[in-house]
Amino acid sequence: MVSQLFSRQRFWRKQELSSYYDIVIIGGGVHGLSTAYYLAKFDKDLKVAVMDKSYLGAGASGRNTAIIRANYLTPEGIAFMNASLKLYEQLSGELGLNLLFSQIGRLDIGHTESTLFWLRQRSEYNQLMGVESNLITPDEVKAIVPEIDLREGKPFPIMGALHHPPAGVARHDAVVWGYARGADRNGVELHPFTEVIGITKEGRRVTGVDTSKGRVKAGLVVSATAGWTSTIARMIDIDVPILTYPLQAFVTEPLKPMIDTTISSGELHTYIYQTERGELVIGGGVDHYPTYSHKSTLHMLEELATNAIRLLPQLRGAKVLRQWTGICDMTPDYAPIIGPVDGVDNFMLNCGWGTWGFKAAPISGKTTAELILTGKVPELIEPFDLNRFYEGRLINERAAAIAAAIH
Ligand SMILES: Cc1cc2nc3c(=O)[nH]c(=O)nc-3n(C[C@H](O)[C@H](O)[C@H](O)COP(=O)(O)OP(=O)(O)OC[C@H]3O[C@@H](n4cnc5c(N)ncnc54)[C@H](O)[C@@H]3O)c2cc1C
């Protein structure tokens, strides 16, 4: 019994690459893996492979700060993110793995009248769509986070906040591993360290991929490569309105419990929360220039630390434990792109996850799988097609994604 409890079991099998799959998913991040998981859950006979040039979760999925929330600005964004939040509430049970999902809530702080106007608008849209989100006063903010500096008489005074109780955090690695294990158990082949170096085509039809381990034919190729989407797009000569920006974050040494919610300031481009083991997680906006570089910078550390101390002066003197960077696929309207591409058959995009994609992974994977299996676009993702950029149907989620937006 004891040996059974402590026996080491692989989360997924090692597989030899086959010469054909019904569906090849490029990218073993949380979106590629959740798509594979739901595909195999809905149709166990499909032959699906996920290929990643590195280990599973090596991209932004293993580097994010794991905040999950639904208090977006647009009806499209709110409906989509709320559906994802609902799936997160059941996900540990569904995947049979404790994802440490903890609904600690969220405060979006406003420092000016004009931000309060936007926050009020968000709160009203959210409430109309059944998402709990209320505008609260500085005193109510203080009651939730007694340690916060309301900054009366100082620059960036706190004038109110949008309070969103169902928001939470989860363990990002566990979500990646849970989807990977679930996909594997339903027959999906996972191929880490298998780089896609080309996409094969006959006329307008994609026929498969060239990989670092050889050529593979496929009935459908899905790109779920987030910050690397433009490099995949180049392989089939299409344009995607995506620029790749680095996003940095850091954690402090563990400190005694100080806050038990997530706080975000759009005007300071900074967000903070405390993990269960006491580390303060601090993140902010993307770097100022697009690049594929994963380099962390002292400049960003100083900027984020200064802002965090403005909100929580007790952090002065806290030691930084580690800082890291991931890359993000930013779209002009801060909303994702899911679906086929005009003029290219048997190919699908799942990208545009920018700085907000971790929270979206469950519903993104589920709806992408439904689209692939039925050929019908699920209502929740109808607004997120690539053509919106050519037809002027932009979603404009900037106001909701602002803490992590381009400055
Ligand atoms: C510091 C930071 C903080 C963040 N915080 C949050 C947050 O709090 N909440 C939130 O919702 N989102 C957050 N995000 C955003 C979120 O992490 C991403 O949107 C999400 O992880 C994207 O997942 P993905 O699976 O699409 O991409 P990724 O996880 O980036 O996966 C793409 C994969 O594609 C692989 N790949 C690329 N090219 C190839 C190729 N040619 N062949 C094979 N494989 C290839 C890569 O190796 C990579 O593993 C944050 C991001 C960062 C960097």
So what's the pLDDT on residue 93? 98
With a cut of 70, say whether residue 301 has pLDDT above it: yes
Nearest CA to ligand 1 atom 44: 52
pLDDT recorded at residue 9: 81
Give the pLDDT score at 7.
63
pLDDT at position 401 is 75
What pLDDT, on the 0 to 100 scale, is given for residue 400? 76
Q: pTM (2 decimals)?
A: 0.97
Q: In CATH terms, is domain 16-64+173-241+335-393 a member of 3.20.20.70? A: no
What is the model's pLDDT at position 4?
Answer: 55
Chain segment 270-292, per-residue pLDDT in tens = 999 999 999 999 999 999 999 99
What's the 65 CA to ligand 1 centre distance in angstroms?
A: 11
- Asked whether residue 6 carries a pLDDT value surpassing 80, the answer given is no
Residue 404: what pLDDT?
Answer: 63
Which atom of ligand 1 lies closest to the CA of 326? 53
Q: How far apart are the CA of 164 and the centre of ligand 1, in A? A: 25
Residue 129 CA to ligand 1 centre (angstroms): 28
List the CATH code of the domain at 104-168+244-330.
3.30.9.10
Tell me, rounded to whole angstroms, the distance of Cα 83 from its chain centroid. Answer: 14
Cβ–ligand 1 contact at 63 (below 6 Å): yes
pLDDT at 210 over 80: yes
Kindly state the average pLDDT of the residues 346-371. 98
Q: Are 354 and 334 in contact (CB under 8 A)?
A: yes
Neighbours of 87 (CB within 10 A): 17
Q: Is the pLDDT confidence value at 326 over 60?
A: yes
Atom from ligand 1 closest to the CA of residue 32: 25
What is residue 71's predicted lDDT score, i.e. its pLDDT? 96
Could you tell me where the DSSP H helices lie in 167-246? 172-185, 229-235
Mean model confidence pLDDT for the chain: 96
Q: Is the pLDDT of residue 266 over 80?
A: yes
**How many angstroms does the Cα of residue 6 sit away from the middle of ligand 1?**
32
What was the pLDDT predicted at 134?
97
State yes or no: pLDDT of 262 exceeds 80. Answer: yes
Query: How far is ligand 1, taken at its centre, from the CA of residue 61, in Å?
Result: 4
- The answer to whether residue 403 scores a pLDDT higher than 70 is no
Task: Decide if pLDDT at 2 tops 80.
Answer: no
Whether ligand 1 lies within 6 angstroms of the CB of 54 is answered as: yes
Task: Judge contact between 222 and 350, C-beta under 8 A.
Answer: yes
Residue with the nearest Cα to atom 3 of ligand 1? 64
The structure tokens listed for 184 are 């594997």
Residue predicted with more confidence, 4 or 294: 294
Q: What is the pLDDT of residue 399?
A: 74
Q: What is the largest CA-CA distance in the chain?
A: 68
Q: Which residue has the higher pLDDT, 10 or 151?
A: 151
User: What are the residue ranges spanned by the domains of the chain?
Assistant: 16-64+173-241+335-393, 104-168+244-330
**Interatomic CA distance for residues 171 and 169, integer angstroms:** 7
Cβ pair 359, 85 in contact under 8 A = yes
DSSP code per residue over 293-357: -----HHHHHHHHHHHHHH-GGGTTPPEEEEEEEEEEE-TTS--EEEEETTEEEEEEEE--TTT-
| pLDDT above 90 for 8 | no
Q: Give 32-60 pLDDT, tens digit per residue.
A: 999 999 999 999 999 999 999 999 999 99
Residue 282 and residue 308 in contact, taking contact as beta carbons nearer than 8 Å: yes
Share of the chain above pLDDT 70, in %: 97
Bridge-based pairing state of the strands 337-341 and 270-274: unpaired
pLDDT at 398: 84
Q: Are 69 and 356 in contact (CB under 8 A)?
A: no
405: pLDDT strictly greater than 80:
no
With the most atoms of ligand 1 within 8 angstroms of its CB, the residue from 17, 38, 51, 65 to mutate is 65
